[in-house]
Amino acid sequence: MPSVEVRAEWPGRVAEVHVGAGDRVAAEQELITIESMKMLTPVPSPAAGTVHAVAVAIDDFVDEGAVLVTITT
């Protein structure tokens, strides 16, 4: 099954994790919330699928390009 790596588009702190491994997700569903520039910014799923792995935990600092979640579609 093809998998999609969802990456951080900007640096920030992981404020909320909305999904766990094995969860079914819809396209555009919010997976992670990153706090950056004092804004809680949703990271939506690029496609419908199943969460294969969540690579981050709350309060982790992530750089731009860091893998957050892997989705199998």
Partner 1 sequence: MVWEPEIGELERRRQLAYEMGGEDRVTRHHDNGRLTIRERLERLVDAGTFRERGVLAGRAQYEDGRLAGFSPSNYVMGIAKLAGRRVVVGGDDFTVRGGAADGAVGGKAGHAERMARELRVPIVRLVDGTGGGGSVRTIENIGRTYVPGNPSWDTMVGMMAEVPVVAAAMGSVAGIGAARVAASHFSLMVKGTAQLFVAGPPVVARGIGREIDREELGGSHIHARKSGAVDNAVESEAEAFAQIRRFLSYMPQNAWHVPPACPADDPADRREEALLSLIPRDRRRPYDVRALLDLVLDRGSFFEIGRSFGPSQVTGVARLGGRVVGVLANDPTKIGGSLDGPASDKLEKHVDLCDTFNLPIVNFVDQPGFMLGAAAEEQGTIKRGVRALAAVYQARVPWATVIVRRAYGVAGAGHQNHARWNYRVAWPSGDWGSLPIEGGVLAAYRREIEASPDPARRQAEIEEQLSALRSPFRTAESFNIEEIIDPRDTRPLLCEWTEAAYEMLPTIAGPKQRGMRP
Residues of this chain that bind partner 1 (CB under 8 A): 9-11, 35-42, 63-64
Whether the CB-CB separation of 4 and 50 falls below 8 Å is answered with no
CB of 9 to partner 1, least distance (A): 8
> Is the CB of 43 or the CB of 56 nearer to partner 1?
43
CB of 22 to partner 1, least distance (A): 28
Class of residue 28 by CB neighbours under 10 A (exposed 0-12, middle 13-18, buried 19+): exposed
> Is the CB of 10 or the CB of 18 nearer to partner 1?
10
Angle among Cα 64, 69, 73 to the nearest 5 degrees reads: 125
CB of 49 to partner 1, least distance (A): 21
**Short-list 48, 56, 41, 54, CA closest to 10:** 41
> Is the CB of 37 or the CB of 57 nearer to partner 1?
37
